[in-house]
Structure 1
Amino acid sequence: MVKRFGLLLITSIFFFSNAVYSMETISVTVLPFKIYSQKDFSYLKTEIPSLIKNQLKQEGAVIIDPEFKYDFPDSMETEKYALRAKNLAIKTGADFVIWGSLTLVDDKFSIDARMTGSYEEKEPDLFSVKGEGLENLTTALKKLTGDVVLKLFKRERVAKILIEGNRRIESDAIKRIIKTKPGDIYLVRSLSKDLKAVYSMGYFEDIRIEAENGPDGKIIIFKLKEKPTIREIHIKGNIIYEDDEIKEALNIKTGSILSSSGIKSNIKRIEELYKDKNYHNVKVTYDLIKNKQNQADLEFLINEGEKVRIKEILFEGNSAFTSKELKKQMKTSEKGFFSWLTSSGDLKTEDLSQDIANLTAFYHNNGYIQARVGEPQISYKGNFIEIRIKISEGLRFKVGKVDIEGDLILSKKELLEKIKITREEFYNREVIRKDILLLTDIYSDEGYAYADILPR
């Protein structure tokens, strides 16, 4: 008999049936374990049941802890112990009760557990696991609890995992993505997560999972349909850029496997390419033309839209200079009547960055040495761009006394007559820079090639 469950995956949408996850609610009481050891490991008396309860909760069981005191015989082997445990489960309202013991001899251990239903007449089910080294106790306990789960929920283990339908992608690569392994409990919800994980690899357009009954448990078959490879890439609707220019910007190539994420990222690449030339309203879609041998031609369809130009450059915080005076310091300009013929209104980030530096220098060269020009705020409004620049002017500084100190090769009067900052009314950083170069040349001409000239 073959049991099938699967999902047709289209444009990353998954359809799940709630019925897949429905299961009977089972309540369980887990009693403290007996500890048989020459050393004091009494803390494991409650620690072991706690680990079992946590794992059972994760599998969907409801844990019921007794809210009253109870006593049990010292020996777990007696019928009296089993009867007392069953009565306790009935009293708490649990469907099943689990009890057990841990035996430690030197470095070896044995965990033995029993489980019975509240109203079952048969002998308790026995579970046992052995190991060596306390560091392996948790792993052994997980295995024992896994066996309990199989019995409790009437589940099976996964015997084998097979991959079918893959041609280009190796089975081992797919199995590394799948979390379910042979020997695990057969859980539909775990396989559903595996299905999503395999789909997220981006190589498959359809994934189905089938489960067959085998002599050692469930045989899980992942049936895959690979996405086609790209045979050719075509560009349509482009005028501003040539086909080759656009293809150079793409990182998806012929022969690669089609993936929706890859196509979307390359659509963004094309859009960014157009935005570099101020076509901010560009729209890019795509079409797939399937061919034989699981191949397809990929077409990028471009609607370039109108070029977006600068409509307005606004300044905030300027009082010393008008907006018109500040705009004269900039290469970036607003859209003019002949913008279709000239480059007026074009936004170029490198030019705008230089404009900010020019505006800062303009203020510093006019006495506003504390002036700060902020980063431009760019807003896209339909077919137009608005640029807003905030300015903090600060105070304006006049030139006071100018003096020259240090190792003078000419008289102070002669040197002061040569520099130009003495003739300026307001502090001018550019004039000072040129004066430093002038003095450096004077000293170099006299053989002082490494003279340090510093303004303060």
Structure 2
Amino acid sequence: MLLLAAILGLLLSNAALAARVENVIVRGNVRSNERLIRATSGISQGEEIGPALIQQAIRNIYALGVFSEVNLLGETTGVNTLNVIIEVKEYPILNQLTITGEDEIKESDIREKIRILPGQIVSPHAVTRAVEEVLTAYREKGYYLATVDPRQIELEGGRVDLDFVIDERERVQVKNIRFHGNESLPSKKLLDQMETKEDRWWRSADFDDEKYREDKEKILTFYRTQGFREATIVRDSVSVGDSGKDLYIDIWVEEGDRYRYGSISWNGNELISDQQIHRLLDLQEGDVYNREAFNEAVFRLASAYQEQGYWAVSIDPIETPTGNSVDVAFSIFEGEPSKVRFIDVVGNDKTKDKVIRREMALIPGDTFRRSDLERSHRNVFYLNFFENVEPDIKPLPSGDVDVIVSVTEKPTGTVNMAVGYGQVDKWVGSIGLSIPNLLGNGQQLDFQWEFGQTRTSFYLSFTEPWVLDTPTS
């Protein structure tokens, strides 16, 4: 039997004669299918074998991701023939995963990061990826000094136990936040926009990666309210100091020019007059460009159209920078008024549809108005039967709309009991029951029983808020 180098030597020493494969034999596989390995290698009986084919075969088998070692051996069977022997060593499979030392992150969350389950292959790549995922999760919570030590315990049958030993260490504190490139806006103003704070004697300054990402967006949002519509964060860095306990944040910004509004114009409006649009937009030439105020202006104009039934109105603001000013032209396509075609209620397992529908200010066939949608939402929520009420609008090709009201019911009804002792009545007690949504009909039932040695009283109340399906109680 010869190693791969010997095979290559045989082939290269006799260039005139080509070695052909008589058989392909697989050894060392326990769980892996022999046919799969042979087919993946790309080496077939009867074909000529050379260095390129051997190298490709090794790469192909490694690519399966289940072997820690792959060797090709050669066994001469004749002058120009040989058997190719593929020897493999399989990665172990996981028997049990344990996690020790975790406190700040739930064990279940860490397991989701590791993503190696019993019965799955434990490869160095999978373990390295899992360690990095867990460390990233700790860094996002400010534990930059946390360490993860994956320990493997070999068992019989190609199985291993895997123990992730975590040392969380101390949570780092934000020592200093420094801005670079902010020539127009002072660092203090930018710091005021951030939830991430610097460490002070009267407060801690834990670092949270998710909040920090949100802070960077808040900084850019603030810049755009101050006229810097092209401001960007070029780069940033988060580093741990020599003490291992202090965190330093550096943020480089590129402010760009500060813009003001130039000319404000619009076209396509027939339903709403120029004077009304001017008042609704409330944007003046020469004012500092403010993205937040600009978006609110567009929303006010769209709401004015939707209040009159034009739900599908299109308002397209076109911004044209000229020097340090921005000309804005609003292109308005009013379309046709939308009507309510259909109202559907979903999520109400207990509460009957009619209890919700009778609170709706929107009625199929009516012109759709935003104020009616808002009032419908408010009325249904104020029933106090639901944790959440979410109306959704489905535009139709005809221009009309369907309204889908999604509700999440909450437990309703209370029971109370009390026992007491007094000089006159001695032992007394009470039992009370209140059901605000009786049998899902929106009716109110209240019952109270008070009892003692000298007196007993009953109280029973039934409220029907919609007598004969009219808002009369």
Q: TM-score range by the shorter chain?
A: 0.5 to 0.7
- The separation in 1 between residues aligned to 2:21 and 2:29, in whole angstroms, is 21
Pairing partner for 2:219 from 359, 365, 374: 359
Q: Could you tell me how far 1:286 is from its partner in structure 2?
A: 1.9
Q: Could you tell me how far 1:386 is from its partner in structure 2?
A: 1.4
Name the larger-Rg structure. Answer: 1
2:341 aligns with none
1:178 has 2:41 as partner: yes
Q: Could you tell me how far 1:313 is from its partner in structure 2?
A: 2.4
Q: Could you tell me how far 1:212 is from its partner in structure 2?
A: 3.6
1:332 aligns with 196
TM alignment of 1:382-421, pairs within 5 A? 382=241, 383=244, 384-395=247-258, 397=260, 412=275
1:264 aligns with 128
Q: Could you tell me how far 1:259 is from its partner in structure 2?
A: 1.9
Q: Which amino acid aligns with 2:222?
A: F
Q: Which amino acid aligns with 1:311?
A: K
Q: Which amino acid aligns with 2:225?
A: N
TM alignment of 1:90-101, pairs within 5 A? none
Q: Which amino acid aligns with 2:191?
A: K
TM alignment of 1:119-134, pairs within 5 A? none
Per residue, is there more helix in 1 or in 2?
Answer: 1
Q: Which amino acid aligns with 1:378?
A: S
- The separation in 2 between residues aligned to 1:195 and 1:439, in whole angstroms, is 67
| 8 A Cα contact 2:229 2:291, kept in partner | no
1:240 has 2:104 as partner: yes
CA displacement, residues 323-369 of structure 1 (integer Å, 9 cap, x when unaligned): 112211223333344555xxx342434x4454344334434434x25
Q: Could you tell me how far 1:427 is from its partner in structure 2?
A: 4.9
- The separation in 2 between residues aligned to 1:431 and 1:168, in whole angstroms, is 65
Partner SS state of residue 149, structure 1: coil
Q: Could you tell me how far 1:226 is from its partner in structure 2?
A: 3.1
1:158 aligns with 21
Q: Could you tell me how far 1:273 is from its partner in structure 2?
A: 2.2
CA displacement, residues 233-285 of structure 1 (integer Å, 9 cap, x when unaligned): 11223222232221122232111223222222222222222232233333323
1:149 has 2:14 as partner: no
- The separation in 2 between residues aligned to 1:423 and 1:213, in whole angstroms, is 90
Pairing partner for 1:346 from 207, 215, 218: 207
- The separation in 2 between residues aligned to 1:187 and 1:439, in whole angstroms, is 75
CA displacement, residues 143-182 of structure 1 (integer Å, 9 cap, x when unaligned): xxx7x334xxxxx433112113322111111112324433
| 8 A Cα contact 2:190 2:219, kept in partner | yes
1:218 has 2:82 as partner: yes
- The separation in 2 between residues aligned to 1:403 and 1:22, in whole angstroms, is 83
Q: Which amino acid aligns with 2:17?
A: V
- The separation in 2 between residues aligned to 1:401 and 1:221, in whole angstroms, is 80
- The separation in 2 between residues aligned to 1:365 and 1:400, in whole angstroms, is 16
| 8 A Cα contact 2:233 2:252, kept in partner | yes
1:290 aligns with 154
CA displacement, residues 388-414 of structure 1 (integer Å, 9 cap, x when unaligned): 1313252464x78989997697895x9
The 1:20/1:372 distance shift into structure 2, 3 A limit, reads same
Partner SS state of residue 46, structure 2: coil
- The separation in 1 between residues aligned to 2:58 and 2:280, in whole angstroms, is 82
1:373 has 2:228 as partner: no
- The separation in 2 between residues aligned to 1:219 and 1:435, in whole angstroms, is 80
- The separation in 1 between residues aligned to 2:24 and 2:271, in whole angstroms, is 90
- The separation in 2 between residues aligned to 1:429 and 1:320, in whole angstroms, is 18
**How many residues are treated as equivalent by the alignment?**
312
Q: What TM-score do you get using the length of structure 2 for normalisation?
A: 0.53
- The separation in 2 between residues aligned to 1:447 and 1:186, in whole angstroms, is 77
- The separation in 1 between residues aligned to 2:314 and 2:120, in whole angstroms, is 63
- The separation in 2 between residues aligned to 1:198 and 1:444, in whole angstroms, is 63
Q: Could you tell me how far 1:297 is from its partner in structure 2?
A: 0.8
The 1:312/1:186 distance shift into structure 2, 3 A limit, reads same
Partner SS state of residue 307, structure 1: coil
| 8 A Cα contact 2:231 2:254, kept in partner | yes
- The separation in 1 between residues aligned to 2:176 and 2:103, in whole angstroms, is 27
- The separation in 2 between residues aligned to 1:222 and 1:438, in whole angstroms, is 73
How large is the Cα RMSD of the aligned pairs?
Answer: 4.3
Q: Could you tell me how far 1:430 is from its partner in structure 2?
A: 4.3
| 8 A Cα contact 2:25 2:86, kept in partner | yes
Partner SS state of residue 181, structure 1: coil
Structure 2 unaligned segments of length 5 or more: list them.
318-327, 330-473
- The separation in 1 between residues aligned to 2:44 and 2:305, in whole angstroms, is 82
- The separation in 1 between residues aligned to 2:310 and 2:71, in whole angstroms, is 83
Q: What TM-score do you get using the length of structure 1 for normalisation?
A: 0.54
CA displacement, residues 114-145 of structure 1 (integer Å, 9 cap, x when unaligned): xxxxxxxxxxxxxxxxxxxxxxxxxxxxxxxx
The 1:324/1:60 distance shift into structure 2, 3 A limit, reads farther
